[in-house]
Chains A and B, each alone.
Chain A
Amino acid sequence: MSNKGKEEPTKEMTPPQKHELTGAETTRPGHVFTPAVDIFETEAAITVLADMPGVKAGGVTIDLRENVLSLDGTVGASEGEKEQVLVREYDTGSFHREFRLSNLIDQAKIDATMEDGVLRLTLPKAESARPRKIEVRTA
């Protein structure tokens, strides 16, 4: 790395433990993981970033009903047919996670993009849920 102009991140990364969903929640075979997420909020929208490596744009399903947002990502086979695995340090599988949203979301304006295995979901707040500044008038 040689771009000196920008401030370099100095923290050394550690391998994340992939969290696997267990229990009777799945109907499909294979592993299901909960993706790591960042969720942040501005006055206008809530943004969700989810790490879903191996998921293509077409493999994402986003569902929002009764304030429960669920994300699903499906992956294809990671190894080719003629390959034999020698060392496996991480498992692959689909992704699933649910969130309960407290704010009212304008469902028609939800925007989702997938880039380099990261899902970016922008959930604009409905007009009624946005903070409104109330002018105090002098009598």
Chain B
Amino acid sequence: MLIRRLPSLPDWTASFRDLYDVRREMERIFDTLGGMSAVRNPGVFPATNVSESDESLLVRAELPGVRPDDLEVTVEGNTLTLAGKRETLTESEGVSFHRREREWGTFRRSLTIPVRVEADKVEARFADGILTVELPKAAAARPKQITVQAGA
């Protein structure tokens, strides 16, 4: 008989973190192999990069040519939604096109935030075609330095 011991299930956030660690390790290996990048096309616009600092989670998306007024960023519970549109060219009449590669249209994407954040302190900035959403972590989700006290 085969007896397999299951480790106690880690909490949800920690399991995500493990996945990220695996991913990072994979990226590192790919990088050393030949500069291959391990980016994953999400299939949904816009592609986002997520990073974290001690204080906050940062979500970035490349949205060149989108006007800030046409952008809609919402946080509800642990879901961040990025929506908006990119207008097509206005001067499409009376001109002859040589190339037309730039995308246009509407988009909407929701992301699940893996840590608790302070929804009322979320900030969105748009500069040079890059949207940065900064989600401050809730106090409980921030790393804490524990001072070790010498025993009496």
Of A54, A85, A86, the contact of B130 (CB 8 Å cutoff): A54
Contact with A along B59-74 (1 / 0, CB 8 A): 0101111111010100
Q: Does B43 contact A (CB under 8 A)?
A: yes
A39 to B96, CA, bound (A): 9
Task: State which size class the interface on A falls in.
Answer: 35 or more
Question: What is the CB-to-nearest-CB distance from B138 to chain A, in angstroms, rounded to a whole number?
Answer: 17
Question: What is the CB-to-nearest-CB distance from B114 to chain A, in angstroms, rounded to a whole number?
Answer: 8
Whether A82 and B54, one on each chain, are in contact in the complex, defined by CB atoms closer than 8 angstroms, is yes
Of A15, A42, A82, the contact of B94 (CB 8 Å cutoff): A42
A-B contact pairs, 9 of them (CB 8 A): A13-B105, A17-B41, A36-B101, A36-B102, A38-B97, A53-B129, A79-B60, A86-B50, A116-B68
Whether A89 and B87, one on each chain, are in contact in the complex, defined by CB atoms closer than 8 angstroms, is no
Q: Does B106 contact A (CB under 8 A)?
A: yes
- Among A37, A42, A51, A114, the most chain B Cβ lie within 10 Å of the Cβ of A51
- Residue numbers of B with Cβ under 8 A of A are 20, 23-24, 27, 37-54, 57-58, 60, 62-68, 70, 72, 83-89, 91, 94-107, 114, 126, 128-130
Contact with B along A28-40 (1 / 0, CB 8 A): 0001000011111
Whether A8 and B85, one on each chain, are in contact in the complex, defined by CB atoms closer than 8 angstroms, is yes
Q: State the main secondary structure of chain A at its contact with B.
A: loop
Whether A14 and B50, one on each chain, are in contact in the complex, defined by CB atoms closer than 8 angstroms, is no
Q: Does A130 contact B (CB under 8 A)?
A: no
- Among A10, A14, A38, A52, the most chain B Cβ lie within 10 Å of the Cβ of A38
Known contacts: A40-B91, A41-B96. The answer to whether A15 contacts B64 by CB under 8 A is: no
Residues of A within 8 A of B64 (CB): 51-53, 116-118
Considering only CB atoms, which chain B residue lies closest to A85 in the complex?
B51
For the complex of A and B, the 8 pairs showing the least CB-CB separation, nearest first, are A117-B129, A117-B64, A11-B105, A53-B129, A53-B62, A89-B47, A39-B98, A13-B45
